[in-house]
């Protein structure tokens, strides 16, 4: 790959660049020196990828004397208590408004560090350096931050746009297969809802994608980001069109909570894609043949799309009722019309679905 690709996110409140390339440490250093000179640098990462930081971008940032904060890895640590602990560490070191945070890690780190940055001293700068495919195409872009509670995922959080996002494709070389597939669920999701051509490209090039062929990977990552850019620029506060990004997430987030966060986010979303595609069929919007293509593509990437027979649909629905997308304690879903196109009505991009249909979609063998 030659020079880095730069995508600009335009925003009413704050625009920012996304850089895509290989070995982006020099770019990160240059960006900080040009835009945040003399600021203190705090780096938030987790114990699993701390060594990745030390072996990649640490040397280029050493002269800035960054304060490295590493937390235990995993979704179970994305809590208000962890956020408070990070804030106390920064306060103890007398970090103030002249601070920039670097979120170095996957989606958990990005969400948590973003939330810290949004409230610390009433808001400080953050840049994202996502190290997983999931974070590269999803959580690092758009400014969503948050923590989980026992009642659900990301129920406490803010919208806080980063100053920049640096996507280094080299990180994918050492990414475990399970984590790579975890990220593919979000790429497939946005293709299903927004771009039939991308969906067909993934269908035809699944072998090359699984082999991490660089140009193929670059294309699907770049295209996924472009699609998300179009959506979030038109609806920064998630009041309308941005709900498109929630396809597969009403069930997926509930299932993640149901599993006590023991199942990876992407594997919960792939189940959500299957269930919500079935809901689209049961409500006579999506053709059965299209649903079969969706499930078949999930199968190509070994993404789980079957629901265990012993699952309790009533409990799942109860969890859905406290989801932030719910209105009047009634779950709402993004509905497919066809691959690449969702159902819309006036300003609505999600729809209330009767509980008997939700249960049938969960219980119906795929």
Is 366 an annotated catalytic residue?
A: no
Catalytic residue among 4, 179, 238, 290: 238
Is 36 an annotated catalytic residue?
A: no
> Mean pLDDT, to the nearest integer, of 196-224?
97
Q: Are 234 and 121 in contact (CB under 8 A)?
A: no
* Region of poorest pLDDT, from 82-86, 87-91, 245-249: 245-249
Catalytic residue among 246, 257, 278, 290: 246
Q: Residue 164: its pLDDT value, please?
A: 97
Question: Which residues have a Cβ under 8 Å from the Cβ of 322 and sit 6 or more positions away?
Answer: 151, 152, 155, 329
Local confidence band at 269 (pLDDT 50, 70, 90 cut-offs):
very high
Is 196 an annotated catalytic residue?
A: no
Local confidence band at 4 (pLDDT 50, 70, 90 cut-offs):
confident
Q: Residue 238: its pLDDT value, please?
A: 64
> Mean pLDDT, to the nearest integer, of 345-363?
89
> Mean pLDDT, to the nearest integer, of 300-309?
91
Q: What is the rounded CA–CA span in Å between residue 105 and residue 132?
A: 7
Q: How far is CA 24 from CA 6, 33, 60, 117, 326, in A?
A: 12, 14, 10, 22, 40
Q: What is the rounded CA–CA span in Å between residue 313 and residue 319?
A: 10
Local confidence band at 223 (pLDDT 50, 70, 90 cut-offs):
very high
Is 242 an annotated catalytic residue?
A: yes
Q: Are 19 and 165 in contact (CB under 8 A)?
A: yes
Is 271 an annotated catalytic residue?
A: no
Local confidence band at 239 (pLDDT 50, 70, 90 cut-offs):
low
Q: Residue 13: its pLDDT value, please?
A: 74
Local confidence band at 188 (pLDDT 50, 70, 90 cut-offs):
very high
Catalytic residue among 78, 153, 160, 253: 253
Q: Are 186 and 266 in contact (CB under 8 A)?
A: yes
Is 238 an annotated catalytic residue?
A: yes
Local confidence band at 330 (pLDDT 50, 70, 90 cut-offs):
confident
SS3 199: helix
Is 285 an annotated catalytic residue?
A: no
Catalytic residue among 128, 265, 271, 343: 265
Q: What is the rounded CA–CA span in Å between residue 84 and residue 46?
A: 16
Q: Residue 105: its pLDDT value, please?
A: 97
Local confidence band at 82 (pLDDT 50, 70, 90 cut-offs):
very high
Q: What is the rounded CA–CA span in Å between residue 24 and residue 41?
A: 17
Q: Residue 237: its pLDDT value, please?
A: 64
Q: Are 366 and 294 in contact (CB under 8 A)?
A: no
Asked if pLDDT for residue 324 goes beyond 80, the answer is no
Asked if pLDDT for residue 318 goes beyond 70, the answer is yes
Q: Are 127 and 100 in contact (CB under 8 A)?
A: yes
Question: Which residues have a Cβ under 8 Å from the Cβ of 282 and sit 6 or more positions away?
Answer: 357, 360, 361
Is 160 an annotated catalytic residue?
A: no
CA 12 from centroid of its chain's CA atoms: 22
Q: What is the rounded CA–CA span in Å between residue 279 and residue 362?
A: 9
Helices 177-194, 214-234: axis angle to 10 degrees equals 50
**Model pLDDT for residues 37-74, shown as the tens digit of each residue:** 999 999 999 999 999 999 999 999 999 999 999 999 99
> Mean pLDDT, to the nearest integer, of 7-28?
90
Tokens of 86: 């990070």
Average pLDDT along the chain: 93
Catalytic residue among 122, 150, 288, 345: 122
Catalytic residue among 83, 189, 242, 343: 242
Q: What is the rounded CA–CA span in Å between residue 1 and residue 18?
A: 16
Catalytic residue among 75, 179, 186, 291: 186
Asked if pLDDT for residue 317 goes beyond 90, the answer is yes
Q: What is the rounded CA–CA span in Å between residue 153 and residue 261?
A: 9
Tokens of 256: 């993640």
Is 214 an annotated catalytic residue?
A: no
Q: Residue 326: its pLDDT value, please?
A: 74
Q: What is the rounded CA–CA span in Å between residue 234 and residue 108?
A: 26
Q: Residue 283: its pLDDT value, please?
A: 96
Q: Residue 1: its pLDDT value, please?
A: 56
**Model pLDDT for residues 115-169, shown as the tens digit of each residue:** 999 999 999 999 999 999 999 999 999 999 999 998 888 999 999 999 999 999 9
Local confidence band at 346 (pLDDT 50, 70, 90 cut-offs):
low
Catalytic residue among 36, 40, 144, 343: 144
Question: Which residues have a Cβ under 8 Å from the Cβ of 12 and sit 6 or more positions away?
Answer: 236
> Mean pLDDT, to the nearest integer, of 62-91?
96
């Amino acid at each position: 790959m030659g020079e880095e690709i730069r995508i600009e996110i335009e925003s009413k409140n704050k625009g920012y660049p996304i850089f895509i390339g290989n070995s982006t440490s020099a770019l990160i250093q240059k960006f900080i020196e040009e835009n945040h000179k003399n600021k203190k640098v705090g780096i938030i990462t987790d114990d699993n990828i701390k060594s990745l930081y030390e072996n990649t971008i640490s040397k280029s940032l050493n002269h800035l004397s960054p304060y490295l904060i590493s937390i235990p890895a995993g979704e179970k640590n994305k809590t208000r208590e962890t956020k408070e602990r990070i804030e106390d560490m920064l306060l103890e070191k007398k970090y103030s408004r002249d601070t920039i945070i670097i979120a170095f890690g996957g989606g958990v780190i990005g969400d948590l560090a973003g939330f810290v940055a949004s409230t610390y001293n009433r808001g400080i700068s953050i840049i994202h350096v996502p190290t997983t495919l999931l974070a590269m195409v999803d959580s690092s872009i758009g400014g969503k931050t948050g923590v989980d509670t026992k009642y659900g995922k990301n129920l406490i959080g803010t919208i806080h746009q980063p100053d920049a996002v640096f996507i280094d494709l080299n990180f994918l070389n050492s990414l475990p297969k399970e984590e790579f597939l975890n990220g593919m669920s979000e790429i497939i999701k946005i293709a299903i809802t927004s771009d039939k051509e991308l969906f067909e490209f993934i269908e035809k090039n699944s072998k090359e994608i699984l082999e991490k062929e660089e140009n193929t990977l670059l294309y699907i990552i770049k295209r996924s980001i472009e699609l998300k850019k179009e959506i979030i620029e038109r609806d920064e506060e998630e009041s309308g069109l941005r709900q498109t990004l929630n396809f597969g997430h009403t069930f997926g987030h509930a299932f993640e909570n149901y599993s006590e966060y023991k199942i990876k986010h992407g594997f919960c979303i792939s189940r959500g894609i299957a269930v919500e595609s079935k809901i689209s069929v049961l409500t006579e919007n999506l053709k059965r043949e299209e649903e079969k293509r969706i499930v078949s593509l999930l199968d190509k990437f070994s993404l789980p799309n079957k629901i265990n027979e012993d699952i309790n649909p009533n409990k799942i629905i109860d969890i859905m009722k406290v989801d932030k997308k719910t209105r009047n304690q009634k779950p709402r879903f993004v509905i497919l019309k066809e691959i690449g196109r969702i159902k819309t009505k006036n300003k609505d991009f999600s729809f209330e679905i009767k509980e008997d249909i939700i249960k049938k979609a969960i219980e119906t063998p795929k």
